[in-house]
């Protein structure tokens, strides 16, 4: 049975982000270990978590004018999850189980790539994550941002199945 274990390699040293990622791990494991009749309800909780999780990061990115590829990746992954949720509801458990098998690799890659780049950027520009406020720039100071796309080397989960939809 696939599972995700919280470990130090998933920490990006940004408390609110790390907390959200712990929650993802919990919601994910609840789906991975759910009995067939409980799968859809657990999957719905994972999707609800993912909506809030991506929204939080998207708001930070909007506040600091971060490159859009990270947000686009969120949108694609959520679209895949919603599409597969519909198929599971119609009885296609195979795709649901396959998504669950593929999510850990995607999650670890995303957390260590795009999310790590975002956390690093927010910290380096002094963004107040709690209040969602960016401190004003000092004279002559510049804000550069790398979105972390270059470190993404695994495709989104179920990209083949989603494009066949």
Interactions with Fe ion, residue window 20-79 (CB under 5 A): 57
Nearer to Fe ion, 72 or 137 (CB): 72
CB of 138 to Fe ion, least distance (A): 28
CB of 140 to Fe ion, least distance (A): 31
CA atoms of 5 and 39, how far apart (whole Å)? 20
CB of 164 to Fe ion, least distance (A): 25
The count of other CB atoms within 10 Å of the CB of residue 57 is: 21
> What SS3 class is residue 15?
helix
Cβ contacts of 37 within 8 Å, gap of 6 or more: none
Nearer to Fe ion, 19 or 89 (CB): 19
Q: Minimal CB distance to Fe ion: which residue? A: 115
Interactions with Fe ion, residue window 109-148 (CB under 5 A): 115
For residue 148, the 8-state DSSP code is S
Q: First CA to last CA across the chain, in angstroms?
A: 26
Applying CB under 5 A, what is the total number of residues that bind Fe ion? 2
Query: Which alpha helices (DSSP H) does 111-148 contain, by range?
Result: 116-124
Nearer to Fe ion, 39 or 54 (CB): 54
CB of 54 to Fe ion, least distance (A): 6
Nearer to Fe ion, 33 or 109 (CB): 109
CA atoms of 117 and 82, how far apart (whole Å)? 26
Contact footprint for Fe ion (CB under 5 A) = 57, 115
């Amino acid at each position: 049975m696939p599972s995700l274990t919280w470990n130090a390699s998933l920490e990006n040293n940004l408390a609110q982000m790390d907390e959200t990622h712990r929650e993802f791990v919990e919601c994910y494991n609840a789906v991975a270990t759910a009995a067939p009749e409980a799968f859809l309800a657990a999957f719905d909780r994972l999707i609800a978590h993912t909506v809030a999780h991506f929204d939080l990061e998207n708001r930070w990115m909007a506040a600091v004018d971060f490159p859009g590829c990270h947000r686009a990746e969120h949108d694609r992954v959520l679209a895949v999850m919603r599409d597969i949720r519909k198929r599971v509801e119609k009885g296609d458990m195979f795709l649901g189980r396959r998504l669950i098998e593929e999510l850990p690799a995607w999650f670890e890659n995303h957390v260590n790539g795009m999310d790590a780049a975002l956390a690093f950027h927010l910290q380096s520009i002094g963004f107040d994550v709690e209040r969602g406020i960016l401190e004003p720039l000092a004279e002559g100071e510049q804000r550069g941002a790398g979105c972390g796309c270059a470190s993404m080397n695994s495709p989104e989960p179920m990209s083949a199945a989603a494009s066949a939809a």
